[in-house]
Structures are given as structure tokens and as C-alpha cells.
Structure 1
Amino acid sequence: MVFDRLLAKALAAFVQRGSLEVTAETGEVHRAGDGTAPRVAVRLVGEGATRALVIDPELTLGELYMDGRLVIEEGTLMEFLQLLLQDSRAERSKLPIPTIAKLRSLAWRLAGRNDARLARANVAHHYDLSGRLYDLFLDRHRQYSCAYFEHEGQALDDAQRAKQRHIAAKLAIRPGDDVLEIGSGWGGLAMYLARYAGAERVRGITLSAEQLAASRRSAAEAGLSDRVAFEMEDYRATQGRFDRIVSVGMFEHVGPKDYGAYFEAAARLLAEDGVMLLHTIGRTGEPGYTNPWIRKYIFPGGHLPTLAEVMPAIERSGLMVTDIEVLRLHYAETLKAWRERFLARRDEALALYDERFCRMWEFYLALSEAAFRWEDVVVFQIQLAKRNDVLPITRDYIARNEEMLRRAEETRLQVAAE
């Protein structure tokens, strides 16, 4: 059949190393790779599975797995994704039927702006899921962004604390500073900045009702409600002037058409001697559309920017780039830890939702990890200011600030133990 031939052609193009065996629903077996490890065998189940996969693999691969129509018979899901991605660099020109990819590229270029109403709906789709779900796999402070692994084998909780420390060090907060966090999550970073970094006041804004309620509870329980405040607010509506601005894991939801509005708001809100740190997932390749399965099921409206997309908006805003760090593989290790934790408590997730949801979440965590390991996905930390004299001229201050923060953490632990 024609779709069997096209599937064989696609597998030969994408899988160069390892061993992959795919059994179509017709019973025909397709093999690809050089015969080395890892060895993976999958079976497609149900009429039309091969046709759907060939026509639109970027979307259908995840859907078939969610529906139980793509069955891993040998090896693991992670090894399967490794075989598909480690040699391909996601070259869409290799797809046997490239028309859908071309249409998606056109739709991405013509997409409209992500206004406040749409932004809130997109956030609710993912972040207003049950908090009990996130407790299954996140660290104790619910840091739902890339950890910072200081050494191989570091525990997730310690790596997430190191991330907070690294960000705070780059912000170089002074006693009495007012801080704005755009996209404050469950409040862990805001409370860290108040408790350890010397911020006088921290204002966290979010579009998630679930996260807002949890953040306010956490601040009250920590005795920080007088210094840390959380609000349901779009960044375009925020007023005031802040000495420091930080945004972690939120920029991916802004969308290219609104980058100008985002950085214009940041410039308006940042003090003349202020510092901003933007921590965002991004890509090192050419600009392009985000994986359609991720956009449909996980992060509607999401987009992973390249520096080429971001820099013009920064330059037009009047802000200046003072430092850029590229975190490579840190998110792959973070996602590995999340995936292992989720799978260890999968029965609890099944009690919250259903089997299709659990398979969707497995595929999301595995696909995301694979993208950071074998594609061009990284994390950018972009430091911004309005003047070029507000930070030291060498990067030594980051390590010094981290050490001071580490001592502050240890002191607090000692006091608590006493």
C-alpha cells in the first residue's frame, strides 16, 4: 500500500542509528537503523493508523499514543523518541507529505495577537489543572520551570533551589528594592527573593486562578504576606515602577506578535537604574512554528522564540541586553526527573483524571525531554537594563552573590533547627 511505502521512506530518513521496528495495522513490518542499541519495536493499531501517521506525523504521533493505538512492544517511549529525533534535527523537508507542515508554517506567520482574553484562556488550559497533579512530580516549592543542575546527579529540589539562587544573583537585588515577577507561578521564587535576596516588596502577577490562590496561601503560611503580594493581572495592565523585574517560564506564552508590547511594558515598569532577568525556553535554530501536538493538547498559544525574534523587540523598547546565558540540557534533566516522578505515582494521576490523560502527560514529558536532548531547544536567561552602568563589568558578581545567598539559606536552616 502507498502509505506503507511512505512510512518506510520516512523511517529510513529519520532513523540512522539504533534499531526501530514498526508493525503497521496491516501486519507489514518496517525496519530502520543500523542494528545497534537502543532497540525499539512499536505496533500501530486500528484502521487508518498508518495513513494518519504518514499524513501528519507531528500531530498524530502523540494522538496515537494517547489513544493506545501506538503500542510500545520493546524498549521505552523515551528510546522511541530518541530514535526518531537524535539524527533528524526535526527537518520538516524529510516528511513524506510536507503539505501540512507548509500550511502550519503559513498559519504561524499569519497568526493574530495574543490579547489579554486569549492569554488568560490559554493559561487556564494548563495551569488551572488540579494542584494535586503538579504535586505528583514537582519539587516541594512547585517550581514548574527549568532547574539549574550544579553537578551531575544533583537532586531535583536542590537544583530548583540553585535555579532560584542563580536568578536572584543575576538580579543583584539591593536592600529596599521593589520587585515585579511577571508570571509568578505558585509563588516560590517571589518568596525566595523576599526571604533571602533582600527584596523589600515583591509583587507577583499571574493569569492562573489556581496558582493565585495557592501562592497567597503559601505567602500567608510563610509569614510573608506583608512583603509578598500576588495579583490576577495581565502584564499590559500593570502600573508602577520597579527596581527589579523577573519573568521565569512565562514568555513562552506571549507570542511573537506581542513581543513588542511585552518589552514596552517592561521598559515602562523598570526603574532607570533597574535590572530585569528574562528566563525563557527558546530555540537555537531558525524561527518556526511550535510542535502542533504540544500547542493543541498542552500549551495552546505557546511559542518557543529564537534570539532573532526577541532581539528586535528588545532594541525597539529602549532596553539594553547586559548578559545572555544559554542553559543546555538543564531542562532535559529537569524533565527526566519530572517524568520519573510522574511514572512512580501514575496511579494517583489516574485517580485524578483518566488513562488517556495519563498517556498524554507521559508523552508530553517524554517529548519535551527529547526536544531538549536531541533538537535545538534550550533555555535563555537574558539580563536587561536601561543603563550600562548599573551592574559590575565582569560576571564575578554572580558567583559572589550566589555564595552570599547560600550562606543566608544555611543561616535560616540553622535558626529553624534551633
Structure 2
Amino acid sequence: MSTLPNQTWQSQPERSLLDSIRGLGRGGPQLLKELAAQADVRLDGHRPWDIRVHDPAFYDRVLSAGSLGLGESYMDQQWDAPALDETFTRLLGGGIEDRLYGAAGLGLRLRIALLVLRARLLNLQSQKRAFQVGEQHYDVGNDLYEAMLDPTMSYSCGYWAEAEDLESAQRAKLDLICRKLELEPGERVLDIGCGWGGLAEYIARHYDVQVVGLTVSREQAQLARQRCAGLPVDIRLQDYRELDGRFDKIVSVGMFEHVGRKNDAAFFDTAAQLLKEDGLFLLHTIGTSDVNPVNDPWIDRYIFPNGELPNAERLAQALRPRFVLEDWHAFGPDYDRTLMAWWANVEQAWPALANAGYDERFRRMWKYYLHCSAGFFRSRRGHLWQLVLSHPGGRSDTYRAPR
């Protein structure tokens, strides 16, 4: 188990930003109440999605640091909401961020402008940075993920069309991926971002194929090798840009969110080079409806450093010169249900996790992460896409994706 980053909300730059906004004075609480009310959320209200403020410092933290202050103040027990997922559904659906940034003052607007410039000017997902997300997020502790996830250890959206529980939804997702890829015995399959090896194990066990799985997490690689022992599966701690060879099929589930727009060309060029001419490539990714998406500051600091969600325009632009789009399947509402099932598992397992060393601040951080993510999908700001791609001119038949 790794410990939570030792972050305090009043670092020197944040104190400077806080000082720059002090002019709001006693108007701060009223401003936040008015903004929240526009999203049908009351501060100190009594409905399940209303915010109960326990510490007046909450107001300054949100006004000075936006979503970062909102998340950190929750971790520090300065506010609560009984139905946190519904709180975020309303805040995100009501566009509260834009209203807050427009009203809060120059300090917060400058902070956001710097984040946008950072994402646009720097390659935050370069090969040198590739392992950072593995070390901070995926290596946090296999005991946590084993408690949260289903037995397949699938850390991505389940497919709930006919499923009644998390495990059946995840197995339905694995089966759907295999059917879309049209797997045949003896084929060689590449799994970019293989996680704990659930998909690699499923493919090798049920379809008699060889699998090469890539991950940037040491903890994932260790467990994946254990669960795939005795199967024709090669788990590698390796960045996708370091790989060579040829594969009949390629699959990438829940990894493209860490690629970043500056690496789109490298990612899809690499996939095109590795995929045989008549092969298929399935890309499973979270997407966003935002026009110019930037990683949320709280998510960037505590959950997924250097992440960047694609929108449909970015994906279409990156794919157009490299692949034929055979199918685009959207089932974003299924992620809402998946996330809430994960939290139910964490909550049930919390006494054991607490005994293992996870503290209350970590529990609140993880609850905030899963619930704000559920609200992201429930508000329709977030989407889940499965794309099936092929080489231009590489297939002579008509592809029909199963559902």
C-alpha cells in the first residue's frame, strides 16, 4: 500500500492566489451559494445532494482553487453530502465550473489558464513520464483493487445490457470485446494497457490465442503474471512506444486516457505498424463532450497524473489518415453503474482496508474520486466509447460489430 501524497492546500502559490481573491471578503459564501443554487444544490440544505458545510474555510478553498479546493476540502472533512454522486451530477450538469471561474476573480482564472497552457505546450504523457501514473495510481495497492473490482480485476466500464451484477457485467464486456475482434485460434494478440491481466487471461483461456500484455505498473505486472501462469501470455512492464513485431489483433482498454493529444500520432502510428494488414484494433476509452478538455486539477494531483480525455473531434482527426473506422459503440451510462458498484465493494471492505493501513483521508479521497466520476457520466459530460479500427484497404469483407 502506498500513502496519500503529502499535499496541503496552502502551498506558496496557492497562498498567493488566495491573497489575490481576499477582496471577495464576506461575499464569498453568498457567491458560492448562488452558484450552487443554479445547479439545484443548496449549501447547508437538507436534501441528499445538498452540501453540508462543517468548516467556513471551505468557502475560501473553493474560491481560491476551484475543483482542487473542493476536493481537498472534502478530504479534510470540511463538508459532506449524503448523496455525493447526485451532488456531482447536478454540479457538472449545471456547468458550475465555468460559472465559478467567471465569478471568482483573476486568481482562479489565471490558475486555469496556466493549466491549459501546461497541457498545450508540454508533453505531459511523454515516454519519460509514462510510468508516473502507474507508480501513483495503479501501484497504490493490489489489496485495494482486489477488494474493489470483480474477480476478473477489470478496472474499466462493464457492459450492463443483460447483466445484474458487477462480475457478470465485466465478463459480458470481455466477451463483447472478443466477439468484436473476431478472434481465431492461433492468433497473436497485443493488449496495450493490460492491467492485472483479466482480459489477457480471458482471451488466452477461451480463444486459444497468444497474448502480449503491456503495463506501466509494477504491481499490475506482478499480479497479471501470477493469474496468467501456464497460459500463452507474456506480460511486459513496457511502454507501447518501445514495442516491435506484428499482431493479428490489438486491443487497448482504459489506457488511451493516458496517451495525450501530443502523442496521438505516435500511438496510432505504432498501432498501425504493429497490426497486420487484415487485422482489427479495438480501442475502449472514456471520452468527453468538452470542446477543449483539460485534466481536472484534483484528479491530476490525486488520481490520474498527466491524464487527458479525448473528445470525438480529436479521435476522428487522429484516426482519419491511419485507420478505417469500422464501428463506434457508445455506452457511457454503464460506467455510472460500474463506478457505484466499485464504491459499494470498497465500503463493504473498508474495515479490512483500514486495518491494512488505509486511513480516513484516503477513504474520503477514494469516495470522492468514484462519486465525482459517476456524476461525470450521469450528467452526460462523460462517455464510454468502443471503436473497432482496421487498415485502409486491409479487409475485403464487410465488418458487422456485435452488440
TM-score, scaled to structure 2: 0.87
1:124 aligns with 2:135: yes
Structure 2 equivalent of residue 63 of structure 1: 72
User: How many angstroms does 1:91 deviate by?
Assistant: 3.2
| Cα distance in structure 2, aligned partners of 1:215 and 1:371 | 30
- Between the two proteins, the alignment pairs up a number of residues equal to 376
Distance change (3 Å), C-alpha of 1:50 and 1:391: farther
User: How many angstroms does 1:113 deviate by?
Assistant: 4.7
> Residue 144 of structure 1 aligns to which amino acid in structure 2?
Y
User: How many angstroms does 1:52 deviate by?
Assistant: 1.6
2:345 to 335, 341, 345: 341
Structure 1: which 5+ residue stretches go unaligned? 23-30, 400-418
Distance change (3 Å), C-alpha of 1:86 and 1:158: same
Computed over aligned residues only, the root mean square deviation of the Cα atoms, in angstroms, reads 2.2
User: How many angstroms does 1:327 deviate by?
Assistant: 1.6
Distance change (3 Å), C-alpha of 1:303 and 1:361: same
Structure 2 equivalent of residue 412 of structure 1: none
Structure 2: which 5+ residue stretches go unaligned? 1-22
Secondary structure of the equivalent of 1:40?
coil
Structure 1 equivalent of residue 104 of structure 2: 96
User: How many angstroms does 1:136 deviate by?
Assistant: 1.3
Secondary structure of the equivalent of 2:50?
strand
Distance change (3 Å), C-alpha of 1:39 and 1:258: closer
1:78 to 52, 77, 85: 85
Secondary structure of the equivalent of 2:329?
strand
> Residue 326 of structure 1 aligns to which amino acid in structure 2?
A
1:281 aligns with 2:286: yes
Please show how residues 325-336 of structure 1 align to structure 2 within 5 Å.
325-336=329-340
1:15 to 14, 37, 40: 37
Distance change (3 Å), C-alpha of 1:315 and 1:85: closer
| Cα distance in structure 2, aligned partners of 1:168 and 1:321 | 18
Does structure 2 retain, via aligned residues, the 8 Å contact 1:14–1:85?
no
Does structure 1 retain, via aligned residues, the 8 Å contact 2:194–2:213?
yes
User: How many angstroms does 1:261 deviate by?
Assistant: 0.6
User: How many angstroms does 1:80 deviate by?
Assistant: 3.0
User: How many angstroms does 1:111 deviate by?
Assistant: 2.2
> Residue 246 of structure 1 aligns to which amino acid in structure 2?
V
User: How many angstroms does 1:321 deviate by?
Assistant: 1.6
| Cα distance in structure 2, aligned partners of 1:77 and 1:197 | 41
Structure 1 equivalent of residue 216 of structure 2: 207
Structure 1 equivalent of residue 18 of structure 2: none
| Cα distance in structure 2, aligned partners of 1:343 and 1:359 | 11
User: How many angstroms does 1:375 deviate by?
Assistant: 4.3
| Cα distance in structure 2, aligned partners of 1:383 and 1:369 | 25
Per-residue Cα deviation, 1:80-132 (whole angstroms, up to 9, x for no partner): 33342332274355553333223322222222252223111222111112111
Secondary structure of the equivalent of 1:185?
coil
| Cα distance in structure 2, aligned partners of 1:3 and 1:159 | 50
Does structure 1 retain, via aligned residues, the 8 Å contact 2:257–2:285?
yes
Does structure 2 retain, via aligned residues, the 8 Å contact 1:108–1:289?
yes
Moved over 4 A (4+): 92-95
Does structure 2 retain, via aligned residues, the 8 Å contact 1:282–1:377?
yes
2:184 to 171, 174, 179: 174
| Cα distance in structure 2, aligned partners of 1:43 and 1:20 | 10
Structure 2 equivalent of residue 112 of structure 1: 123
Per-residue Cα deviation, 1:108-162 (whole angstroms, up to 9, x for no partner): 22222522231112221111121111111100111001101013x6100000000
Secondary structure of the equivalent of 2:304?
coil
Distance change (3 Å), C-alpha of 1:45 and 1:311: same
| Cα distance in structure 1, aligned partners of 2:248 and 2:140 | 33
TM-score, scaled to structure 1: 0.84
User: How many angstroms does 1:21 deviate by?
Assistant: 2.6
Per-residue Cα deviation, 1:381-402 (whole angstroms, up to 9, x for no partner): 111111356375363x525xxx
User: How many angstroms does 1:4 deviate by?
Assistant: 4.2
